[in-house]
Amino acid sequence: MKTKSWRRLPPLKKWVLPRENWDAGPWDNEPDKVQWLDVFSGYPCLIVRGPMGNLCGYVGVPPFHPWYGLPYNRCTLPMCESDEEEGYCQHSPDCIIDCHRGLTYSNHCLELRPVHELSNIWHEVEPGDPAHIKLVWWFGFDCGHYMDLSPGLVAMARWANTMARESGHGDYLDELEAKVREMRPMDFEMPEDTYKDMEYVGACVRRMARQLRDIYDQTRGPIDGRQRDEGVQIQGPQGTVRDRLTLPIIG
Ligand SMILES: [Zn+2]
């Protein structure tokens, strides 16, 4: 598996405003997708720009990982006392893995499916790559939450605002804005949304890969120690993208 970056990705969702509508920002100088093999864990990693312009990070665990095939919000224990009816369990990957605002994605690699062209969440592998690099189960998070800036969302809000005013609904918008100001306490300032860039997301992904590898090492998968050691010995890819992503672990 080679380190690779895609400068721009074709828009996959028709309802999204074209990128030309976005404001200028750090996203202009970043790729839309990067893949690399994490040195510490030996797991494939991905950063993909979502349809709203925010970045999303993914780590692919191999078939012998205890969480392979497990949905991110499902309990990781075979026997659990928690009330699953509530739809929330403290043993879920989402609760255990510490990443940006929690996990929001889990799935097979979409490159192996017909839906490949509907998603960018897949990695490009080499014919000679071993199965544990090819057949991964992705866990992912996104940076499109509260306090995250998504350039596509900003553009869409602006477009909706313009459309509403042009179609004679300006008064309604003014009224709505006045209501919001009325409801908000005077001393309460809205926090500034910030864009979570490649550097930030790269560090989050590497931290997540480390945590997922720790889970594997703690629980010991069904494969013997020899294979586990091979995971550690995988050499990290070299190159500018890799260099940029070699950052100190957060936290
Ligand atoms: Zn549980």
CA–centroid distance, residue 63 to ligand 1 (Å): 22
How do beta strands 33-37 and 4-6 pair?
Answer: antiparallel
The model's pTM: 0.80
Helix (H) or strand (E) holding 37: strand 33-37
Determine the pLDDT at residue 24. Answer: 96
CA–centroid distance, residue 101 to ligand 1 (Å): 20
Local mean pLDDT, 10-residue blocks, the chain (251 residues): 92 82 95 95 96 96 93 86 69 92 91 69 93 94 92 89 86 82 60 89 96 88 41 32 33 33
CA–centroid distance, residue 18 to ligand 1 (Å): 42
Question: Which residues have CB less than 5 Å away from ligand 1 (the ion)?
Answer: 75, 77, 80, 82, 89, 91
CA–centroid distance, residue 88 to ligand 1 (Å): 8
Q: Residue 66 contacts by C-beta under 8 Å, 6 or more apart in sequence?
A: 76, 215, 216, 219, 221
Distance, in Å, from the CA atom of 101 to the CA atom of 144, rounded to the nearest integer, reads: 9
Distance, in Å, from the CA atom of 104 to the CA atom of 44, rounded to the nearest integer, reads: 18
Q: b/e for 72-106, b at 16 or more Cβ within 10 A?
A: bbbbbeeeeeeeeeeeebeebbbbebebbebbbeb
Record the tokens describing residue 166, joined without a space: 């042009």
CA–centroid distance, residue 72 to ligand 1 (Å): 12
CB atoms within 10 A of CB 204: 25
